[in-house]
Amino acid sequence: MGRMTFVFRRLLLLVPTALGVTIITFFMIHLIPGDPARTILGIHATPRAIAILHREWGLDRPLVDQYWLYMDRLVHGNLGTSLYYNTGVSGLVTSRLPATLWLIIYAAVLGVIISVPLAMIAASRKDAVRDHVVRVVPLLGLGMPAFWLALILQSELGVRYQLFPVTGYGSGFFGHLHSMFLPSLTVAVALCPVIIRSLRASMLNVLGADFVTTARAKGVPGHRLFVRHVLRNAVIPAVTVLGINIGFLIGGTVIVEQVFAIPGVGQLMINSIFERDFPVVQAVALVFGIMVVLVNLLTDVAYAALDPRVRFDR
């Protein structure tokens, strides 16, 4: 099977998953106890407002019709109307996407910058003290509440030492770089244990390979061996791990955006929860779901394109 066929098959597999994502977000409204329109509108529920919501979502019609209505709106790029902001949800989400993408990419880059040297230190001497330290310390990050770390970083590096802004997104490239450092670091700390673990494992794998033994026998010095021979071959699995964990990465941004007051999609979601703005919550869940599906596809395709050893049997 050729490369193009592989990409095409992956694209086809994308369709049922993407449809499933829409079905789940569609059904969310039916998990609301009681009459969803009445619950969502809360104390502002006038009979007229309830009737409008009922008509807009087709709540009085059969489920299949309701889903059809929902999909019809989706394919026209209409994610619904926000009850709080009283504007189209699509516009709201689009205007907040750049900050979230910044945070995701910045956090991924920081995660790699922190993880690669640590994984190299651990793998350079398996079962030595440094290996055990590098394996145990990141476990602290695994169980660390992101919002808590965010608060600590804010009060120490932000308020006490005034190194970084406590909140906001900044302006211009370097403004973003400066303002988004603490939020990105917070997200990266949760990501590092996962990257370090897989990178260490794949480095140990490569270190045992014949070509490394050959290079050693030829007298290639240690550091050169590591960078030129081991790291290059161990990085591909690590990138895949990053791709697989994109959902984890995106999930981490939601709460971090809230604590650092970054005008991203995650903050929009949390604010909408406080305002009981159901259409926005539903739309954000959908956008994040589709985003993960697309990134997973990209990871697969990039993996296939980059590594000449990947075969396409399945």
Partner 1 sequence: MSAISLSAGAGAPDSPPKEAAAERARPRRHRWYRQPALMAGIGIIGVILVLVIAAPLITPYNPDTPNFSAALVGPSAHHLLGTDQLGRDTWTRLLYGGRVDLHIAFLAVLLPFVLGTILGSVAGYFGGWIDMIIMRLVDIVVAFPFFVLIIALVFVLGPGERSIYIAITLVGWVSYARIIRGEILVAKRQEYVLAAQSGGLSNLRIIGRHLLPNVITQAIIYAMSDIVQDILAIVTLSYLGLGIQPPTPDWGSMISNGQNFLTTHWQLTTIPGLAVVVTGLGLSLIGDGLADLMRPGQ
CB-wise, 225 or 296, nearer to partner 1? Answer: 296
Residue 219 CB neighbour total at 10 angstroms: 7
Our finding on whether 195 is near partner 1 (CB under 8 A) is: no
Our finding on whether 159 is near partner 1 (CB under 8 A) is: yes
Ranges within 240-299 binding partner 1 (CB under 8 A):
247-252, 254-255, 258, 269-270, 273, 278, 281-282, 284-285, 288-290, 292-293, 296
Least spacing, CB of residue 40 vs partner 1, in Å:
10
Q: What are the start-end ranges of the H helices in the chain?
A: 3-31, 36-41, 47-57, 63-75, 89-124, 129-142, 146-153, 172-179, 181-207, 210-217, 222-224, 232-244, 246-260, 265-274, 278-306
CB 165 within 8 A of CB 90: no
Our finding on whether 148 is near partner 1 (CB under 8 A) is: yes
For residues 236 and 248, what is the distance between their CA atoms, to the nearest angstrom? 19
Least spacing, CB of residue 33 vs partner 1, in Å:
6
For residues 55 and 70, what is the distance between their CA atoms, to the nearest angstrom? 12
Interacting residue with partner 1 among 140, 177, 227, 310 (CB under 8 A): 140
Interacting residue with partner 1 among 1, 24, 63, 305 (CB under 8 A): 24
Our finding on whether 92 is near partner 1 (CB under 8 A) is: no
Our finding on whether 145 is near partner 1 (CB under 8 A) is: yes
The gap from C-alpha 214 to its chain's centroid, in whole angstroms, comes to 40
What single letter denotes the amino acid at residue 26? F
Query: Tokens at residue 21, please?
Result: 């994502």
Report the interface residues with partner 1, using CB under 8 A.
16-17, 20-21, 23-24, 28-29, 31-33, 127-129, 132-133, 135-136, 139-140, 142-149, 151-152, 154-155, 159, 247-252, 254-255, 258, 269-270, 273, 278, 281-282, 284-285, 288-290, 292-293, 296
